């Protein structure tokens, strides 16, 4: 069975331009390219919040960087003003009615803006998949957002999960959370892990840094990077940080004041990352909490020895002592101890091989694509 068209609703405020500039495009497009190449879908519609996305898409297609069967529906320039994206999120289903009424299934990319997809579902009587890479209300709880923000996030989630046909989350802990909080049936709450292109993210024979550890991710409070810098300061290692975020300047100043060897490498595209990761033996993610961290999965796919903290999202992936190492807590002492254990492990080859095997089995692009198309086909059949 071939489903003709899937319409993807971008996260509110997110454009193709943002995907491209932040290096996310290379990773985000993979699943839809795979669906189209396998002929599971004949067309994918991207409904974005960028007023210049049509030209960007055209340029990418001419360069062979975007599949010709991905169609862009951009935000009209009229909405390029403060709060314009909010207004547009309410009337988008009417602005793009021609493509939406011809689509067979709708899907969200994250929870923010999911109400747009629900409105479209009501208008055009199409099945809706609410997909999230992380559960927003969990992150708001952990990041100590005020009660109003948390209440509104749960209100949006409750609304989306009540009216969707299928909910897709990236981890078993998120599945359990939404089932308990929103009384979802297990048949409605599905787990499809964040995917990794294992053809690109793979071990490459190369010289490895002996005295450097790599971190890849956003530079924010969640990632616990001040404690990581302090921990590295108690070793003879250098920490290489790839990424950007609001704490970049503070972290640079902190590392200088503490006289810790930290190198801030900036942002790289997802296509550059496999070569970079393969220069290292050790990857570290000392977060206070995670959803299903893609950078950890990418490092494991490249057979790096991965060190994480024993928190949700990380401990669902790393089996301590089998395919990586878990610090008992997020404090400096435990991080230092776990770095030492990882670097003195006599079975490092087995650890790195087990990491790769886990990704191939549960997190490959092929595996996730097959799981998603089964959901799509079941929903479309029910609506025919």
Residues 41 and 111 in one domain: yes
CA–CA separation, 276 vs 290, rounded Å?
Answer: 23
Say if 205 falls within a structural domain.
no
Q: Tell me: do 50 and 173 sit in the same domain.
A: yes
Per-residue pLDDT, 2: 60
Domain presence at residue 206: no
**Six-digit token pair at 139?**
């992150």
Verify that 354 and 375 share a domain, yes or no. Answer: no
Q: How far apart are CA 303 and CA 306, in angstroms?
A: 8
The per-residue pLDDT for 322 is 98
The answer to whether residues 162 and 307 touch, using CB atoms and an 8 Å cutoff, is: no
- Do residues 153 and 13 both lie within one domain? yes
Indicate if 178 and 274 belong to the same structural domain.
Answer: no
Neighbours of 87 (CB within 10 A): 12
Q: Please report where in the chains the tokens 């435990």 appear, as a residue.
A: 334
Domain presence at residue 269: yes
CA atoms of 147 and 135, how far apart (whole Å)? 16
Is the residue at 230 inside a domain? Answer: yes
Please tell me the predicted confidence (pLDDT) of residue 142. Answer: 83
> What does the DSSP 8-state code read for residue 77?
G
Closest to 215 in 3D by CA, of 319, 339, 313, 315: 339
Is 128 found in the same domain as 223?
no
**Which strands, in side-by-side order, build the sheet including 262-266?**
262-266, 238-242, 212-216, 282-285, 305-309, 325-327
Q: Is 204 among the domain residues? A: no
Q: Are residues 102 and 155 in the same domain?
A: yes
- CATH number for position 353: 3.40.50.2000
* SS3 (DSSP) at 240: strand
**Count of structural domains, the chain:** 2
Q: Let me know if residue 9 belongs to a domain.
A: yes
Give dist(CA 86, CA 63) in Å, integer: 33
Residues 141 and 276 in one domain: no
pTM of the model: 0.88
Is residue 203 assigned to a domain? no
In this prediction, residue 270 carries a pLDDT of 84
Structural domain boundaries, residue 324: 212-362
Residues 256 and 124 in one domain: no
* 207 found inside a domain: no
| pLDDT for position 104 | 97
Q: What is the pLDDT of residues 69-99, one digit of tens each?
A: 999 999 999 999 999 999 999 999 999 999 9
Q: Does residue 119 share a domain with residue 39?
A: yes
For 112-138, give one letter per residue: b (16+ CB within 10 A) or e: bbbbbbbbbbeeeebbbbbbbbbbbbb
pLDDT tens per residue across span 340-352: 999 999 999 999 9
Strand partners, 308: 285, 326
**269 and 335 part of one domain:** yes
Do 328 and 374 lie in one domain? The reply is no
Q: Do the beta carbons of residue 57 and residue 10 sit within 8 Å?
A: no
Return per-residue pLDDT of the chain as tens, 384 residues: 566 899 999 999 999 999 999 888 988 999 999 999 999 999 999 999 999 999 999 999 999 999 999 999 999 999 999 999 999 999 999 999 999 999 999 999 999 999 999 999 999 999 999 999 999 999 888 876 788 999 999 999 999 999 999 999 999 999 999 999 999 998 999 999 999 999 999 999 989 998 999 999 999 999 999 999 999 999 999 999 999 999 999 999 999 999 999 999 998 888 899 999 999 999 999 999 998 999 999 999 999 999 999 999 999 999 999 999 999 999 999 999 999 999 999 999 999 999 999 999 999 999 999 999 999 999 999 998
């Amino acid at each position: 069975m071939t489903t003709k068209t899937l319409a993807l609703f971008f996260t509110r405020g997110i454009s193709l331009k943002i995907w491209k500039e932040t290096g996310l495009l290379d990773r985000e497009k993979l699943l839809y390219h795979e669906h189209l190449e396998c002929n599971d879908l004949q067309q994918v519609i991207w409904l974005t919040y960028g007023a210049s996305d049509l030209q960007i898409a055209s340029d990418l297609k001419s360069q062979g960087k975007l599949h010709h069967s991905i169609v862009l529906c951009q935000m009209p320039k009229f909405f390029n003003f403060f709060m314009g994206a909010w207004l547009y999120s309410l009337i988008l289903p009417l602005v793009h009615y021609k493509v939406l009424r011809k689509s067979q299934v709708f899907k969200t990319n994250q929870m923010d803006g999911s109400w747009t997809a629900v409105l479209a579902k009501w208008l055009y009587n199409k099945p809706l998949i609410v997909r999230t890479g992380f559960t927003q209300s969990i992150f708001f709880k952990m990041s100590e957002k005020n009660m109003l923000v948390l209440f509104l996030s749960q209100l949006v989630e409750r609304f989306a999960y009540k009216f969707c046909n299928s909910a897709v989350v990236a981890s078993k802990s998120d599945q359990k959370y939404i089932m308990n909080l929103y009384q979802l049936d297990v048949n409605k709450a599905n787990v499809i892990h964040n995917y990794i292109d294992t053809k690109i993210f793979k071990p490459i024979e190369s010289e490895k840094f002996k005295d450097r550890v790599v971190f890849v991710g956003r530079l924010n409070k969640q990632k616990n990077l001040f404690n990581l810098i302090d921990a590295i300061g108690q070793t003879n290692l250098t920490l290489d940080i790839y990424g950007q975020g609001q704490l970049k300047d503070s972290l640079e100043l902190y590392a200088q004041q503490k006289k810790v060897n930290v190198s801030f490498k900036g942002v790289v595209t997802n296509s550059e990352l496999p070569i970079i990761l393969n220069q290292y033996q050790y990857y570290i993610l000392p977060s206070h909490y995670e959803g299903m961290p893609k950078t950890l999965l990418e490092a494991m796919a490249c057979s790096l020895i991965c060190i994480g903290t024993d928190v949700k999202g990380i401990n669902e992936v790393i089996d301590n002592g089998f395919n990586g190492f878990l610090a008992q807590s997020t404090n400096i002492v435990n991080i230092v101890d776990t770095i030492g254990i990882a670097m003195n492990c006599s079975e490092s080859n087995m650890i790195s091989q087990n990491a790769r095997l886990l990704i191939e089995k549960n997190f490959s692009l092929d595996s996730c694509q097959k799981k998603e198309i089964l959901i799509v086909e079941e929903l479309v059949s029910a609506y025919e």
